[in-house]
Chain A
Amino acid sequence: MTDFDLVRKNLFRKPLRTVLLIVSIFMAFLIFGLLASFNVTLENASVAGSASNRLVVANKINFTQPLPIAYVSRVATVDGVTAISHYSWFGAYFQDQRKSRFIGFAVDPDTYTRVFADTIKLPETERRAFVAERTGVLVGKSVADQYGWKVGQTVPISSNVWVKADGGRSWDMKIMGIFTGAKPADPTNAIYLHYDYLNETRTFGRDQIGNIAIVTASPDLNDRVAKTIDAAFANSPYETSTVDEKTFSRAFIKQAGDINVIITLVVAAAFAAILMIVGTTLVSAVRERTKEIGVMKTLGFSGPRVLRMVLGESMLLSVLGAGLGLGVAALALAALSKSPLASNFGDISMAPLVVVAGISLAVLLGLVTGAVPAITALRMSIVDALGRK
C-alpha cells in the first residue's frame, strides 16, 4: 500500500459525495474549456492568413470608403514595396441573399493571386486560366461544395451594392478554379472576380477601388512604408490609413465587443462557485476524520506527511474533475468543428494552450481547496484529536 492508495481510498470514502464534487468541478472546467477555446479561435480567426509583411491601405475615413484606382501605380513606386494589388467589396450573393454565406471581391487578377498565394491555393494552370478569362471567377472550396459547383461551370453572381447599366444586379461568371486556404482548416467562403469585369459594367463607382494590399521587403520596413504612403496622400480628397494585416483584422473583430471581459467574468464566476463548494466540503470531510488523523500521527506519520496526503486528496479530486471537463469540451469542439457554422471560424478544436492553462488551473484549484484542511491536519495535536469523542 502506498501513500497514494491511502489518498485514493480516503477520497472515495463517501463515494456519492466525491462524485458530486467531481460533477461540480467537471462543469466548471467544461465551461473553461469551451470558452477559452472560443476565445483562442476568435483570436486566430482574426489573424488567420495574415502575413507579417503585408499591409492594407484603406481610405482614412473608414475602410468601406473607396480609393481612386490611380493610387495603385503611385503606391507601387514607394520604396520598400515589393508587390501590390487591389480589391473591392462586391457584396456578393447567389440567388437568395439571406441564405448566401460567402463574400466576394473584385480584384486585379494576376497580382492578387500572387500577393495572396499563401491563402489562395490552387493549381497554377487554373490560376492562369482565371487571369486570362475576363468573366472568370475563383471559388473557395466550401462555396463550391455548398452549391455543387465545378470548374468550367457558368454561374450568375449577384451584388447587393453594384448595379449594371441595364438595371440588373447579376453578373454571369465562369468558374476557372477552386481554391483552398493556407491550412486545411482555414475558411474558404470567398470568391474572386476580375475588377475590370465589374468596373466596365457598373453604373457608379467607376475607377474606384476598395483597398490596396502591398507586400514589403521585410516587416521591419512596415512602419516606414506605411508612413510614407499616408504622407503622400495627406490633404487630398482621399486620405489613406495604412496598417499591417494583423492590426487591421484584430480591430475588426474587436468591434463585436469586449468578448474577453465577458468570458473572463463567466469563468471566474464558475470557479468562485466551485472553490466555495469544494473547499467547504473538503474542510467538513477532513474534520470527520480528526480522530483517524490523530491515530496516524500516533503511529508515527509526521505532520508534513499527513499534510501531503490531504493535499493529495484535493489534487486528485481536482485533476479528475478537470480531466473530465477538458476532455468533454475537447470532444464537443471536435464534434462542432464538423458543423457548417464552424467553417467560418477555421479550426475550432481545443488549442494546446487551453489544455496547459486548464491543467494549471486544476493544480491551483487543488492547492487552494486543500489548503485549509491540510494545514488543520498538519497542526492537529494528537492529544486534542484523540480526546474528541
Chain B
Amino acid sequence: MSLLTQTGSVIVINIRSIPQRLWMSLATVVSIALVVAVLLGFLSLANGFRQTVGGSGAPDVAIVLRDGSTAELNSTLSRDQIDLLGQAPGVRFGADSRPLISSELMLVVDGIKKSSGTKANMPLRGIGPNGLQVRKQVRLREGRMFAPGTNEIVAGSGLLREFNGFELGRSIRFGAQTWKVVGVFEAPGTVFESELWADAAVVQSLFNRGTSFQSARVALTSPAAMAAFAAYVKNDPRLQLEAKSEQAYFASQAERSGALITYFGWPLGIIMAIGATAGALNTMYSSVSARAAEIATLRVIGFSGFSAFAGTMAEAMVLSLLGAILGTAICALGFNGLSASTLGAGFTQVAFRLQMGPALVIQAIVLAVVIGLVGGIFPGLRAARQRPLLALSAA
C-alpha cells in the first residue's frame, strides 16, 4: 500500500473512532469553540466601533477647527473666520450661489443610558442651514427636519437604540428650555447617528454661546481639492485655523479607539487558547493510549509510523475545526449586530454595532487551528514512535 493510501486509511479509522471517546472529544470541541467565540466577540466589538467612527467621514468634506484643537469641544471659530472660508479654492457652491458651509457647535447634554440606567453624555449639535448637504450619508427616516429658528430637534437612530427619552414627538427639557423631537434620521455606520441636531443659532442663544461656533464643515468640489483648500487655510494669517478631510479626521480617531479593546481581546484569547490546548493534548493523549492496541496491530501489519502520526493529527484537526465552526456560529448568532455604546473621542457617547467580518473570522480560525496542531503533534509523535510489540504485550 502506498504511503498516501495508508495514511488515508488510518486517518479514516481515527476519525471514525472519535465517538468512542465522546465526552472528552466533546469537551475539546466546546472549549475551542469558547475560545473562538470570546476572541471573535472582542474583535467584533473593536471592529464595529472602529468602523462606525472611521466610516463617518466623507473625502470631499473638510472639517475646519481652531489651529491646535484635537476635537470640536476644544475649538472656537467666529462668524468672520467662517465667512472668509468661503473664499478658499475648491469650495462647492449651492443652488443659491452661496458656499456650502455648515457652521456648527456641539454641546453635551444628559441622557439616560438604557443598559445601565445611569446618566450619559449626549452630543447636541447645532448645525447650519447647509448641515444636511455636507453630510450625504444622512437620510431622514421619520418625521421631518427641524424648522430653523425654532426649538426643534432631530435625533439619530443610533442614539434612540441606546438611550431613553428622545423618541419622536417627545418634549425634552434642557435647562430652562423645552425642545421637541420632530424627526429621526439615519446614517448607518457613522457617528452622526449618535447625535441630536438642532438649529445652530437657536442653540447659541439658548445656551448663551454668543456668536461663536466650534467647527465648520465645508463641501468641496472633489476629494482632489482637499490639499489646496487645506494649504489655503493654513497659510492665511487671518484664519489661525486648521482644515483636514473629514475622512482623515475620523480615521485618526478610529485608530486610537479600537486599540484598547484589541489590547484586551488578544491576550485573553491567547490565555484561553493555552488552556484549551492543554485540554486538547489531554484528549489526544487519551485517544492514543485508548487505542494503543489498535495502533500496534496496524503497525505490526505494516502500516508506517507516519500514518499513525497523521491519523492522530487528523483527529485533532477535525476536533479543532468543529470547535472553530461552533465558536463562529455562537458569535454570529449571539453577538453579531448587537448594539453597544461607549464614550467616544469627543467625550460623548457613540452608538455602534458589533461587527463580524471575514478577516476577523479567519484570525479566530487560525487560533483554533494552532490549538489543533499543538494538541495533535505531541500525541501524534507518541503514536508514531510506539513500539508495537511492547504495546501489544501490555494489552
Contact = CB atoms under 8 A, between A and B. Distances in A.
Contact flag (A, B; Cβ within 8 A): yes
Contacts of B115: 257-258, 261
Given A21-B278, A61-B110, 17 more contacts: A23-B275, A26-B275, A27-B278, A60-B110, A61-B207, A62-B110, A97-B68, A169-B68, A255-B349, A256-B342, A257-B340, A261-B115, A266-B38, A276-B30, A277-B27, A277-B278, A284-B24
A26 B281 CA distance: 15
A16 interface: yes
5 contacts: A20-B285, A23-B275, A237-B176, A270-B275, A273-B275
Nearest to A281: B282
Interface string B173-210: 01110000000000000000000000000000001101
A377 B164 CA distance: 57
Given A254-B118, A258-B116, A270-B34, A277 B268 contact: no
Contacts of A338: none
B107 interface: yes
Nearest to B120: A255
A59 interface: yes
B279 A273 contact: yes
Interface string A50-71: 0000000001111011000000
Interface stretch (B8-16, B69-77, B89-97): B69-77
A309 B171 CA distance: 68
A1 interface: no
A359 interface: no
Contacts of A279: 27
A278 to B, nearest CB: 8
Given A17-B282, A30-B271, A277-B31, A160 B69 contact: yes
The 9 closest A-B pairs by CB, nearest first: A27-B275, A277-B279, A273-B31, A276-B27, A23-B278, A160-B74, A251-B118, A257-B342, A20-B278
A265 B120 CA distance: 24
B341 interface: yes
Interface string A263-278: 0011001101110110
Contacts of B38: 265-266, 269-270
Interface string A154-183: 000000110100010100000000000000
Given A254-B113, A254-B118, A257-B340, A97 B37 contact: no
Interface in A115-165: 160-161, 163
A222 interface: no
Given A27-B275, A65-B108, A256-B342, A273 B30 contact: yes
A255 B121 contact: yes
B308 interface: no
Nearest to A97: B70
B31 A276 contact: yes
A98 interface: yes
A61 B282 contact: no
Interface string A19-50: 01101111110110000000000000000000
Chain A interface size band reads: 35 or more
B27 to A, nearest CB: 4
Contacts of A98: 70
Contacts of B30: 272-273, 276
Contacts of B282: 17, 20-21, 277, 281
Given A24-B278, A62-B107, A237 B286 contact: no
B212 interface: yes
Contacts of A20: 278-279, 281-282, 285
Contacts of A24: 275-276, 278-279
Contacts of B26: 276, 280
A272 to B, nearest CB: 6
Interface residues of B, number: 56
A91 interface: yes
Interface in B139-166: none
A163 B75 CA distance: 10
Given A161-B74, A239-B175, A279-B27, A255 B113 contact: yes
B343 interface: yes
Contacts of B207: 61, 65
B105 to A, nearest CB: 13
B51 interface: no
Interface in B1-60: 21, 23-24, 26-28, 30-31, 34-35, 37-38, 41
Nearest to B22: A280
Contacts of A169: 68
A339 interface: no
Contact of A31 (B21, B116, B271, B343): B271
B224 interface: no
Nearest to B282: A20
A4 interface: no
Contacts of B281: 20
A61 B279 CA distance: 54
B70 A16 contact: no
B366 interface: no
Contacts of A277: 27-28, 31, 275-276, 278-279, 282
B345 to A, nearest CB: 12
B259 interface: no
A255 B343 contact: yes
Interface string A221-242: 0000000000000011111000
A283 interface: yes
Contacts of A269: 34, 37-38, 272
A274 B175 contact: no
Nearest to B210: A204
A256 B343 contact: yes
A250 interface: yes
Contacts of A235: 176
A32 to B, nearest CB: 11
A261 B115 CA distance: 10
B227 interface: no
B389 interface: no
A16 B116 CA distance: 46
A273 B278 contact: no
B74 A59 contact: no
A204 B272 contact: no
- Report which residue of B31, B69, B275, B343 has the largest number of chain A beta carbons within 10 angstroms of its beta carbon: B275
Given A62-B107, A204-B212, A277-B31, A27 B272 contact: yes
Contacts of B70: 97-98, 160
Interface in B273-327: 274-276, 278-279, 281-282, 285-286
Contacts of B31: 273-274, 276-277
A61 B176 CA distance: 9
Contacts of A64: 107-108, 121, 347
Nearest to B209: A204
B385 interface: no
Contacts of B110: 60-62
A273 B207 CA distance: 54
A59 to B, nearest CB: 7
